[in-house]
Chains A and B, each alone.
Chain A
């Protein structure tokens, strides 16, 4: 599942248990800034073998999952 994989990547990036991350969370709520976001997007691209465009619409994990699901 896309959402689980994203949560796994985020948890690894943050070094926290996956239970601390909710799909409704925004990057900001997770304490991630714009540079963290760029790095995470690159990890996601590698994991899903896609190219993601970083736009203002990708606010929460749910948004990112929807964008990735469209691409795979």
Chain B
């Protein structure tokens, strides 16, 4: 349906990755996406090795297609996680929240395809030199941990700077977004927020309802003061956090404490007062729950239509 080098490279049918969202992207969601022809990704988040190993074993029982694991480099268990993806022969590893250079040689030696998330041109170049298979250029429209640059400016600049394939992420909600990213130089896309609304995505019902009601301006970035900004829905909790960031009477330790465990409280408990409901800015456009297969099918049909219709601008 779409001609992309990404498909042959990763052994997938469509050039669509599902974002490795902490506490959210488990074996069930990853398997649903992989079975639908995309690349499903399990988030290793801050979990220990036993949890990850169990999820990997589970995903292998649910799909025979390729899948990935997202390694969060700030995890206290990162060394163990880095070893387990090798032992379990995970086909693809994506990384977030840092520079994975020291792990790349061992992963490549194990024939793992390595795809770091990069928020800048310099890191993209460094990753290419370190042997990365591709990079994910993620703009700050995304949910969760965000960089400063937007997808519109990051994707073409990264695409010009590296020879390896670039996967665009951040702010992509439908096939128009997919088509736009391909025109900006990407060979594929990664979506997180859209898959939050997949039927196979096991987040608390309060979380889903909040997403379905959210508008274009429903998100806020908190945590800049701590050096790791996060985009999430505006709630009692995130507004309070945002206000505290400008309050010099609140210490950084107190701020960290306020944020600790907040994503889990959103995902598992749906807690309005203590939860941090991560979401990208495109959420205002997303109004229904669908299966992963329906999501991927509509993305592809719309992207084809958008790309085919692009000639109307030519004179």
Which B residues are in CB contact (< 8 Å) with A55?
102
B120 at the A interface (CB under 8 A): yes
State which residues 126-168 of B face A: CB under 8 Å: 126, 129, 147
State which residues 27-72 of A face B: CB under 8 Å: 33-35, 38-39, 41-42, 51, 53-55
Tell me the bound Cα distance from A54 to B227 in angstroms: 19
Tell me the bound Cα distance from A55 to B103 in angstroms: 12
Tell me the bound Cα distance from A53 to B126 in angstroms: 10
Tell me the bound Cα distance from A58 to B231 in angstroms: 30
B206 at the A interface (CB under 8 A): no
Which A residues are in CB contact (< 8 Å) with B122?
35, 38-39, 42
State which residues 5-27 of A face B: CB under 8 Å: none
> Could you tell me if B126 and A33 are in contact, using CB atoms closer than 8 angstroms?
no
Which A residues are in CB contact (< 8 Å) with B147?
35
Known: A54-B99, A55-B102. A38 touches B126 (CB 8 A): yes
> Could you tell me if A38 and B227 are in contact, using CB atoms closer than 8 angstroms?
no
B123 at the A interface (CB under 8 A): yes
A32 to chain B, nearest CB (A): 11
A10 to chain B, nearest CB (A): 15
Which B residues are in CB contact (< 8 Å) with A41?
126
Number of interface residues of A (CB under 8 A): 11
Tell me the bound Cα distance from A54 to B99 in angstroms: 8
A21 to chain B, nearest CB (A): 20
> Could you tell me if B126 and A34 are in contact, using CB atoms closer than 8 angstroms?
no
Which A residues are in CB contact (< 8 Å) with B125?
42
* A35 CB contact (under 8 Å) in B101, B102, B120, B129: B120
A24 to chain B, nearest CB (A): 22
B75 to chain A, nearest CB (A): 15
Which A residues are in CB contact (< 8 Å) with B129?
51
Tell me the bound Cα distance from A49 to B227 in angstroms: 31
B119 at the A interface (CB under 8 A): yes
B261 at the A interface (CB under 8 A): no
Which A residues are in CB contact (< 8 Å) with B119?
35
Which B residues are in CB contact (< 8 Å) with A39?
120, 122
> Could you tell me if A54 and B101 are in contact, using CB atoms closer than 8 angstroms?
yes
State which residues 265-309 of B face A: CB under 8 Å: none
Tell me the bound Cα distance from A53 to B147 in angstroms: 23
Tell me the bound Cα distance from A33 to B147 in angstroms: 12
Which B residues are in CB contact (< 8 Å) with A34?
98-99
Which of B102, B122, B147 counts the most A-chain CB atoms under 10 A from its CB? B122
Flag B86-108 by CB within 8 Å of A: 1 or 0 each: 00000000000011011000000
Which A residues are in CB contact (< 8 Å) with B120?
35, 38-39
Which of A35, A41, A51, A54 counts the most B-chain CB atoms under 10 A from its CB? A35
> Could you tell me if B126 and A42 are in contact, using CB atoms closer than 8 angstroms?
yes
Which A residues are in CB contact (< 8 Å) with B102?
53, 55
Tell me the bound Cα distance from A3 to B246 in angstroms: 37
> Could you tell me if B101 and A38 are in contact, using CB atoms closer than 8 angstroms?
no
Tell me the bound Cα distance from A63 to B203 in angstroms: 46
Can you list 7 A-B contacts (CB < 8 A)? A33-B227, A35-B122, A35-B147, A38-B99, A54-B99, A54-B101, A55-B102
A residues near B (Cβ < 8 Å) are: 33-35, 38-39, 41-42, 51, 53-55
| Contacts A38-B99, A41-B126, A42-B125 supplied; 7 other A-B pairs, CB < 8 Å | A34-B98, A35-B119, A35-B123, A38-B122, A39-B120, A51-B129, A54-B126
- Smallest CB-CB A-B distances: 3 pairs: A39-B122, A38-B122, A35-B120
